[in-house]
Structure 1
């Protein structure tokens, strides 16, 4: 197919659905002479999840465009990144990545014989490469190295020197793999610009860089291997897949930070050329879409129900995952999986204990939850399903909060109501307006979904602090680090008791005046 394409057609395939391309002119020049050599690297750390289908679908595009594609299993990088892969597990995790990624590529019909698979340690321990690492370290500033790795290398209070080496090694990979372009996520942009700056200092050519968007996970934030609630593992059962999709963030009409829609756009459309919504005839029956923008438009206008979208994506995902599940049912691959990712024993972990792995201690005292009073509420000008609320949380000015409560509670009921507000999330734009906090609600999934704002104790005033009983000590973070998914991890254990009382792991959520409650949603979740 690629031989029949013009250079412009090949360039279109190479660059479609990317968030950014650096050096497109260099790619255009190469295509006038020969096929482009692209490399994609993945550090062999946590288990790959379904978001990996996004780079897999781009690898399929590269091959259709005639590119020579190298897949790098960056085992040494995995160790350097704050030892996310312990040395004793490094080889096992690399083998797991090789098997799972080959299975993914086979499931979407990518011929493996057209790909080159390389392990980083096959060449990164050579005399020549090591000398280049020393040469680069004599030119690169600590500031540049730290800045380059900020979005990729795990950030800790006392960083290891290895994290500063990581970006330089990734830059050198472009030369040693003889690539014309490196492909990765937009979170690697600073490493890519570091490569463009420093490779010429060593006498090596500047490469092009192709960047995928980071698709949201199930909680509305970046899908992460380290955050169980945000991702679907490639080996999840059909039952687990259904359960996770059912809980996934997918507000009616809200197309922002919607991981379900993002998967349709960046995986299903490139691979299948379209998408089918399966639904009952009384709701319009099945509908086939050939343009993603029409799916997005219909969802924004609430012509597609979140339940129908999730069910249709579930069916498509099962079709992609079933060949991978079957391959990993063999004794050999089951043993490999358990050896590369041994289960963590968390029994007996009391207060103050780590939950296992390399996660830092998480305590609910990190959350800045306050009593607020809604002083005004109106419809979002660009989204019928969203309210804009001004909420007094005890500060000089009320905070602007965007919430998806239109379907559940009227403006009149919200006006002047006392509520609970999470105040230290990173502000996020929702349909063009920045939301500066999150209004906390109880909810129960089902048809229909039921949602109620939490109620502070009688006599509360704006700015009163909420806390979990037994965790009164500790100061809330000024702003929760979105990379560490503090809220997402703590939120999993926030529930409503059978007495309609808010709790975290069976500990009361309260203010100095008493318990925080909701009116009717026994056993609900808090989000």
Structure 2
């Protein structure tokens, strides 16, 4: 028998003991699901819409748009504007990430844009998602892509790029600008971007990891590294996108990206300004069963005649009328009879007046949501690889 030195403890590991430890590590190691060519459908097509039609199509995306005149000029002069969104692979996907994201991407694709998804695996590692296990992170990234494909995202103008792969292809280009960004802004300005990592202001103290200072500089640089014309992310990412515009004023070779920030959907329970993956009742997930959807909507906060902080109305406006442009309410004659709404404004007016009751709205919302996510359920039920991937993802513990 012979022994080796344990690099962590300095003690001796005998051959038999070392073999057992090695076997145990292999047994518990997370397997990385090999990814096929996720961009096999990428084949860019230009838009046939007029400039006016493109603007009308894109305006609903942005809860905030900086700036409309810049967007008009871009669409007028570039056949394939580049849009980007970076996402941390972390846990299961809720419908804001699934249905709302697919809806907005399809609008941009129809306007002739190429949409680049930056699969931010290294960023998830920096933010300690999935316990910092890179194999888990990559598996979740694959799961996200599978969901979007099944949900009806128009893939011909969509490209997925893995941050770890792309940065390693051009490390000098990437890291030099990250260093330049770090030089041009102070710690206070960078810490103000903490919201992009899902961190509250209260968490930005001396206990924060240094990695969380790297993160905003890296995300800001992604915009220039990918040569993105439009940053199409949520309102929670606004601060780092504005940092990119500020950096352009301080740099001789950077341009100001257009910022198109979409609405952040509420959690289903009272007082939840944002959906939470760690609270399974806070959101509907893209492969939830029909029974799950029915139960969650039935229990959702939806006070009669109140629109403020009402998540059921939020779902109705952002998702139902985004995908369908109509909603059929089925009621008994004594409750007003059936009615079809073709605009959200009309539905909201009836809700405020009391003509539409939550008890009638909720079943209608449930039915449409189930119809919209049924293709995703079918994909994960019928495709063996997708089914195995989902089972793997469900075994992971979600970390903040």
Tell me the CA shift for residue 17 of structure 1: 4.4
Matches of 1:253 and 1:120, distance apart in 2 = 46
Cα deviation, 1:474-496, whole Å, max 9, x if unaligned, reads: xxxxxxxxxxxxxxxxxxxxxxx
Question: Which structure features the higher share of strand residues?
Answer: 1
Match of 2:231 among 182, 202, 223: 182
Tell me the CA shift for residue 294 of structure 1: 0.7
User: Which runs of structure 2 are paired with 1:275-424 in the superposition (5 Å)?
Assistant: 275-329=327-381, 330-343=383-396, 358=399
CA contact (8 A) 2:128 2:399 kept: no
Matches of 1:216 and 1:42, distance apart in 2 = 19
After TM superposition, the runs of 4+ consecutive aligned structure 1 residues lying more than 4 A away are 1-4
Specify the SS of the correspondent of 1:118: strand
Q: Which has the higher contact order (CA 8 A, sep 6+)?
A: 2
- Specify every segment of 5 or more residues in structure 1 that has no aligned partner in the other structure, as ranges: 345-356, 360-527
User: Which runs of structure 2 are paired with 1:47-86 in the superposition (5 Å)?
Assistant: 47-52=92-97, 53-84=99-130, 86=132
CA contact (8 A) 1:55 1:212 kept: no
Matches of 1:198 and 1:170, distance apart in 2 = 13
1:226 maps onto 2:294 in alignment? no
Quote the residue 1:213 is aligned against: 263
CA contact (8 A) 2:195 2:237 kept: no
Tell me the CA shift for residue 303 of structure 1: 1.0
Choose 1 or 2 for highest CA Rg: 1
1:27 maps onto 2:74 in alignment? no
Specify the SS of the correspondent of 1:150: helix
1:98 maps onto 2:145 in alignment? yes
TM-score by length of 1: 0.62
Per mean C-alpha deviation after superposition, the further-off stretch among 207-216 and 329-338 is 329-338
Matches of 2:250 and 2:166, distance apart in 1 = 21
**Length, aligned pairs only:** 343
1:122 maps onto 2:152 in alignment? no
Tell me the CA shift for residue 3 of structure 1: 4.3
Matches of 1:290 and 1:2, distance apart in 2 = 30
- Specify every segment of 5 or more residues in structure 2 that has no aligned partner in the other structure, as ranges: 1-44
Specify the SS of the correspondent of 1:209: strand
Quote the residue 1:271 is aligned against: 323
Matches of 2:125 and 2:394, distance apart in 1 = 15
User: Which runs of structure 2 are paired with 1:454-469 in the superposition (5 Å)?
Assistant: none
Tell me the CA shift for residue 343 of structure 1: 5.0
Q: 1:341 to 1:160 in 2, by over 3 A?
A: farther
CA contact (8 A) 2:91 2:393 kept: no
Quote the residue 1:246 is aligned against: 298
TM-score by length of 2: 0.80
Matches of 2:349 and 2:216, distance apart in 1 = 40
Cα deviation, 1:325-383, whole Å, max 9, x if unaligned, reads: 11112432232123234255xxxxxxxxxxxx547xxxxxxxxxxxxxxxxxxxxxxxx
CA contact (8 A) 1:232 1:241 kept: yes
Tell me the CA shift for residue 117 of structure 1: 1.7
1:6 maps onto 2:89 in alignment? no
CA contact (8 A) 2:83 2:228 kept: yes
1:112 maps onto 2:155 in alignment? yes
